[in-house]
Structure 1
């Protein structure tokens, strides 16, 4: 299984979030998840809100199309991006 897959017109991402990072960046692929470093702290939902904002910018979609389906209180998250055609070129595995 990959860290992402199509589900109809949507794209599902399987991420392991590392909050309080020095910079925002996608990291290594770990079996069926991909590490994502974000600057926001995991306090009062700030990391989740920041994650939605960061993914919307990265994928070029409105924030309303980003849904954290599971893992709201966990580092491991399943995120749905509604009506997302494909991964940005920079995120393709080699």
Structure 2
């Protein structure tokens, strides 16, 4: 990650909250790096092949993130933005370990 201060997550009492901009029907499942939006928010860009119908894209996003972070899917959930492109994903667990795993994941894709 180029700017360590520009991280798309924040600590919560149960783990971390990860801000994501999801592109459904993106042609492939993958993480595309970090982006700063016009309003200054920093988000992780993700894309999935699934369509945004009946929660399919959200399910694919959870599967993608769980695999990238090497966590069980049960520890991840959509906290907000279930029907929007901009989402917040809650990741339950020990905060420092989750932040380290996310930083390592972002280093691999940027």
TM value normalised by structure 2: 0.74
Out of 17-26 and 4-13, give the one that drifted further.
Answer: 4-13
* Counterpart secondary structure, 1:74: coil
Q: Which runs of 4+ in 1 moved over 6 A?
A: none
- What is the correspondence of 1:14-93 to structure 2 with a 5 Å cutoff? 14-31=19-36, 32-83=42-93, 85-86=97-98, 87=102, 89-92=104-107
The runs of 5 or more residues in structure 2 that have no matched partner are 1-5, 37-41
Alignment RMSD, CA only? Answer: 2.0
Contact 1:59/1:88 (CA < 8 Å) preserved in 2?
A: no
Out of 59-68 and 24-33, give the one that drifted further.
Answer: 24-33
Contact 2:30/2:64 (CA < 8 Å) preserved in 1?
A: no
TM value normalised by structure 1: 0.85
Compare the two structures and name the one with the higher helix fraction.
2
- Cα distance in 1 for residues equivalent to 2:27 and 2:9: 25
Structure of greater Rg: 2
